[in-house]
Amino acid sequence: MGASSPTTTTTDRGAGGSDRIEPRLLVVVVALAALTFLGVLSETSLSIAYSDLMGEFAINAATVQWLTTGYLLVLAVAIPTSPFLVRRFATKRLFLTAVLIFTAGTLLGAFAVSFPMLLAARLVMAVGTGVSMPLLTTIVLEQAPLRQRGMLLGIVAMVTCTAPALGPVYGGMVVEYLDWHWIFYIMVPFLVAAGAAGAVTITDIRKGERATISLPALLLVAVGLSCVIVACSFCGTWPALLTVGIAALAALALAAFAMTQLRSAHPLVDVRVFAHPGFTVGLIVLMLMQGTILGINFLLPILLQRGQGEGSMTAALVLLPGAACGALMSVIVGRLLGAHRATSLILIGVPGVMILELALLAFPDRWWTVLVAYMILMPLGGFVQVPAQTHSLNQLPERLNPDGSATLNTLQQLAGAIGTAVASTLMDGFTAPALADGTGEADAYVTAFSSSMTVFVGTLAVAFVLAVALRRIESAARA
């Protein structure tokens, strides 16, 4: 199918679809989204316990960070295999395998008595998430009419965006009143419920396509993405030359991967998805917003605790309303997509978030300004994330659904890792000279926050230019 036909194909598949979502499909989406939710919840809640883990296992901050970095590394390897897995194995069996793997990792974490055991648990959980995350998007693309996709992806965003908000509060309460092992114990009943719901409702989406996997290709993409994540995660602490070398290795590995996939009759991930301009530009806009939001989510707790002197629980509660509003708006925006063009919503969301970034930059020294600004910023972010994801995937022909889903999910994870790493580097880079000049610690962190935010304002300025270009691409396709 040529590059000019996906819009027609997609529209035809959605023609005549009712706005009412089939209850079975809704249960499937929630069951699959639960695994992603629990994966993110375990990560954000466990971060609250890092200081306890460092003391209990006698490790330093650089070591404990591998609980997050290792998780992202395994995701980077697991997600690109999803097109092969979706085409090769029965969908229900694939889902139940993901649940069993994730549950095994959760139980391993619950019974962990050493840091290596806890790290192994996180890596096993990442395998389960890496299978379920792109499977969820692929099922929506395969089984939902066009008009319902935005709504369903909005529900997915609501479920998964709630986890970063609840994680610190949940982790703080568990660590304060129980101990960190219970972060994992409490998750087990929800995994059982998700597995049971999916076992009853999931149907097969295979089409009898031949499924093959190239181990050299898998190795290249694993090396490339892993090097990107490692370079971003440790760019502020490792020697600059080493970081540049790792980044160069990432570029070479990913370029070699793309070349091999273009020549392969049965690619691991069909990189021809990037031949569709609407998909490529929409994905870049999504990545820029994803990196910005996660970067801000990293900076705000530091601002509240180090700059304003609030406790960790207070900081979590200040940010909770904004995250909750953002999650709710994801569903509302999903419904709006049925009646409005995706690019119209994106062109509201990008400048809106930029304005709120400027407000945070100008007034960073009061907790209530953070609370109000964040409550508005997060819903406006939903005007970009859900429409950009839905619009991008809708540009692809049906045969590329698994490849588009894997590509989008992989690069979303990558954007989040880069955004967090950039935020960390900026905060350290701006704080150190301020402290060296004799500035008080609180004032140094407030100043560093404002300086860091200017970079993310610039990031969204680029996203706005691309959003305008995306609008023109969409208008040309409609014409």
Domain boundaries of the chain, sorted by first residue: 20-206, 214-267, 269-479
Q: How far apart are CA 293 and CA 344, in angstroms?
A: 20
Residue 102 CB contacts under 8 Å (≥ 6 apart), including other chains: 35, 38, 39, 124, 125, 127, 128, 129, 132, 191
Residue 308 CB contacts under 8 Å (≥ 6 apart), including other chains: 365, 366, 367, 442, 446
Q: At what angle do helices 367-394 and 146-177 cross, to 10 degrees?
A: 140
Contact 105, 123 (CB under 8 A): yes
Decide whether 20-206 matches 269-479 in CATH topology: yes
Fold of 269-479: Growth Hormone; Chain: A; (1.20.1250)
Residue entry with tokens 């409490």: 186
* The token pair that represents 225 in the structure block: 């993405």
Contact 42, 109 (CB under 8 A): yes
pTM over 0.85: no
* The token pair that represents 373 in the structure block: 């600004």
The CATH number of the structural domain formed by 20-206 is 1.20.1250.20
Of 421, 469, 399, nearest to 291 by C-alpha is 421
The per-residue pLDDT string of the chain (479 residues; one tens digit each, 9 = 90 and over) reads 333 333 333 433 444 445 677 788 888 888 888 888 888 888 778 877 776 787 788 876 567 777 877 887 788 778 778 777 877 778 888 889 989 999 999 999 999 999 999 999 999 998 888 888 777 777 877 777 767 776 777 777 777 667 776 777 788 788 778 888 999 999 999 999 988 988 888 887 765 556 667 788 888 888 888 888 788 777 767 788 888 999 999 999 999 998 988 888 777 788 889 999 999 999 999 999 988 988 888 788 888 878 888 876 787 788 888 888 887 887 788 778 767 788 999 999 999 999 999 999 888 888 889 999 999 998 998 899 888 988 898 888 878 887 888 788 788 878 877 887 788 778 878 888 888 888 888 888 899 899 999 999 999 999 999 999 999 988 887 76
Q: How far apart are CA 62 and CA 41, in angstroms?
A: 21
